Amino acid sequence: MIGKYLRKKKKGIVSEVEKAIRHHFRNKDLLLQALTHSSFAYESQARIRDNELMEFLGDSVVGLIAADFFYGSYPDVTEGDLSKLKSSASSTIALAEFARQIMLDKFVRLGRGEEKSGGRKKDSILAGTFEAILGAMYLDTGFEAARNFYLQLLRGSFKKIKDEKQLDINNYKSALQEFLQKEDLPAPHYKMLKTSGPDHKKEFIIEVFVNKTSLATASGPSRKAAELKAAEQALKSFFGKKIKSLTQETFIFKK
């Protein structure tokens, strides 16, 4: 009886998500895995695969689609400005908002502990789930299906950008790289120092370097978040109060 109930519940979730994202999956298991946070898999008595590998794949799918979209939409801007647009579209904040638009905050499968701590509202979880959905689409139907789905969201969010003045806002990693390039310095590289905590609640510690010179060290709930924080700390060591923080992933230089 319990097994039958759980199968029916899974089928209902898959059906609702397909309606929300307007995409029919050939392999329903891929969609279910994309919705499964590591905390849910960790607490489950059955052996369940979480969405971390799909998130890894989806990150690349998202990046390629965004790069292609902005390359075609803004043919006259510089490579640096295209990088800013791509970074903005693929930031944790942007992807979390896209996830909310398609109601992934309602459907993501979380463990009891993560549920109690407000996991459905966390940008990092929602962004990761969104990337996993794109990865699942790519595996299930191919690149074009993922591309068409993501482009609908991109066009709705970025159609108001009309001039380069609006490209001053960017994420910290791109900002740091752009600053170093202007100073004729090598691009920064990020080194994982260590991870700690259980699989469903890891903390990543990252150090950012230029050549062999350490610029900053920071931690975060994901490698991407830790790298952004390290880049932020590096920028603030250079500019101090000249950088005004807008969100955890954006910056603006004061004019």
Catalytic annotation, residues: 59, 131
Name the token pair of 210. Answer: 């230029």
DSSP secondary structure letters along 2-56: HHHHHHHHHHHHHHHHHHHHT---SSHHHHHHHTB-HHHHHH-SS----SHHHHH
From the list 193, 244, 246, the residue with the least C-alpha distance to 220 is: 193
Which residue matches tokens 């350490």?
214
Q: CB of 61 within 8 A of CB of 135?
A: yes
- Sign (positive or negative) of CA dihedral 110, 113, 115, 121: negative
**What's the gap between Cα 102 and its chain centre?**
15
